[in-house]
Amino acid sequence: MEEQPLILDRYRPLADLGSGGHGDVVLAFDTRMARRVAIKRLPLPLDRAGRPLEKAGLAEARTAALLNHPAIVIVHEWDTDSDEAFLVMEHIDGASLAEILDETGEPLKLDEVAAVVRAMVGAIGFAHDNGVLHLDIKPGNVLIGRDGRVKVADFGVSALTDASGRAKGTAGTLGYMPPEQLRGGALDARTDCWALASLTYEMLTGANPFDADTLEGSLFKIEVAEIPDPSEFEPGLSAQIDDVILAALAPDPAERYESVIDFGNALLAHLGDPAAGEASLAEVVASLVGVDDSDGAARFAPLGLWDRLARFASAGRRTLAAAACGWLAWAGLTAFGLPLAPALGGAGLAALAAALAPGLGLAIGALAFGAGIIAKGSVLGGVLFLVPAVAYWAYAGRFGRGDALAPAAAPALAVARGALATPLLVGYAFEPLPAAASSALAALATMTASAATGGRAPFLIVEWRFFIDPWTQTSVMTNNLRDLLAPGPLMAILAWALAGALCSLACRRATRTMAVVGVSLGGAALAAGYAGWAWLAPATLTPEAFLPHIGVALMLMIVVLALGAPTRPEEP
């Protein structure tokens, strides 16, 4: 399947599973839960101005989401965008009953029919007890897993019954719709009972006697033509099975069984062993779909590393928060001349707070570090750090999202001469506004750390010793920090913010192609910002001063792009 953007900022499309009901079905990978799901996409009707007329798809999704039964396909969630509703369901690794009947070309064994009927009676009966009609019972909506267990899918055309227990509707499939549904009349539980009997007839005989090209043709076969006994197709079937099936297929609802439970009780007594049927169905499914392929590698394009690691995002974010905030607190405490043991103890508490609540840990670490700068005699440095840090914490840091931690981690990347990759990485992973704010503060943090370790323009190099003893360069810190107030560094900070925002905007489609575009746009913004700095202060900054950093950042982003398309966290 051609690379596509994430669905609902979470689901990576893997393959088209076909069309059914009102929309298309897509197999996707849930990047947050690391599982495959089936997503039904339901177009919302639009008016002439292109606005949704009504939330028809939502009503459908809500109906299905009400049902929780072992024999009903699980609905994980439903959501909408501007013109579609999305029904996210469990993916059944197996085959549909339609595929089994088509591929084998023969009826099911009595044990197998018993397994299917028992599961469907339980599922549909449960739905009826909860006021939900299926209204589209057919082989394609019966899914059989590798273990032989049967599940009913696609309550997408079902309707919540009103107080009288009836619903209006004509949606369904010819051959499995009784006369009242074909004519758009009042529907109730006996409608689904008729459809289940028609499906059972097909399982027992391999033929559907009501299939037709037109609605009128199907009505004629139901109401006028004589329905052959199932035993006429399969002589081994008992007369009792004939009687139960034909009673459930009566054109007049009043002459049918009152419920699917009644129908199931009457029929299952004359079928085989459901447990043996599940085992037999498992063998049939295995013969159709081949060996177990739990990771999908044989059938679908391989997932990128970022998709596969997405389920560890929360743990990774907390680990990063613990490391960054613990270091900030340790550095701030050592500035006051505290012995090693108390300083490490305070750092450990800050790290623990960050692991449990990243926003709280970031506040503790930032305040401790800012106080440490002031304690070392640089009031200007403390102000330069604390004012934007407090403002940023109020905007994003207190929520503990991954973008809020980027500024604290940015100086570490500068040790490897990869500072210019920071806004591109932030834009690759986060939404535009948080990415812009994080990138700007990351630029300030990187430049401040560089100035504090004796760095000069363009302040992109941070010495590794800074992380062991950040206060060894206090004699040069104040003079270097004053250099950051010049127009050139301020222009570079704006360039980082713009680079993060541009990269993020392009990466919102979550494809490698647009990620390359985003990285290119972000890189151009960075180049323009530093070119402006060089133009404003040619004696301070030359192009050669930051060209090596561009090379390292470019190589790092090539690796990031090669490892997978972007993923995005849940919207705040």
| Confidence (pTM) | 0.64
Is the four-CA dihedral 264, 266, 272, 274 of positive or negative sign?
A: positive
Grouping H, G, I as helix, E, B as strand and the rest as coil, residue 293 is coil
Burial-class residue 571 by CB neighbours within 10 Å (0-12, 13-18, 19+).
exposed
| Separation between Cα atoms, residue 324 and residue 406, nearest integer Å | 10
Cβ partners under 8 Å of residue 183, min gap 6: 170, 219
| Separation between Cα atoms, residue 245 and residue 247, nearest integer Å | 5
> Would strands 132-133 and 159-160 be described as parallel, antiparallel, or unpaired?
antiparallel
Mean pLDDT of the chain: 83
| Most confident of the following: 16-25, 72-81, 269-278, 540-549 | 269-278
Confidence grade of residue 503 (pLDDT, cut at 50, 70, 90): very high
| Most confident of the following: 157-161, 287-291, 560-564 | 560-564
Radius of gyration of the chain (CA): 32
Cβ partners under 8 Å of residue 498, min gap 6: 436, 522, 525, 529
Cβ partners under 8 Å of residue 85, min gap 6: 41, 42, 44, 55, 56, 57, 58, 60, 61, 78, 79
Tens of pLDDT, residues 351-400: 999 888 888 888 898 899 889 888 877 787 788 778 888 888 887 777 76
The pLDDT of residue 298 is 44
Confidence grade of residue 297 (pLDDT, cut at 50, 70, 90): very low
Q: What percent of the chain has pLDDT over 90?
A: 36
Confidence grade of residue 274 (pLDDT, cut at 50, 70, 90): very high
Amino acid at 258: E
Backbone angles phi, psi at 311, to 5 degrees: -65, -20
The pLDDT of residue 3 is 63
Q: How many Cβ atoms are within 10 Å of 289's Cβ, its own excluded?
A: 15
Confidence grade of residue 163 (pLDDT, cut at 50, 70, 90): very low
Residue whose structure tokens are 């680990």: 319
Q: Among residues 282, 308, 302, which one has the least CA distance to residue 32? A: 308
Active site residues: 136
Residue with the larger pLDDT of the pair 49 and 28: 28
Tens of pLDDT, residues 29-81: 887 777 889 988 877 666 666 665 555 545 655 666 678 899 999 888 877 77
Give me the mean pLDDT over the 197-205 stretch: 96
The pLDDT of residue 164 is 39
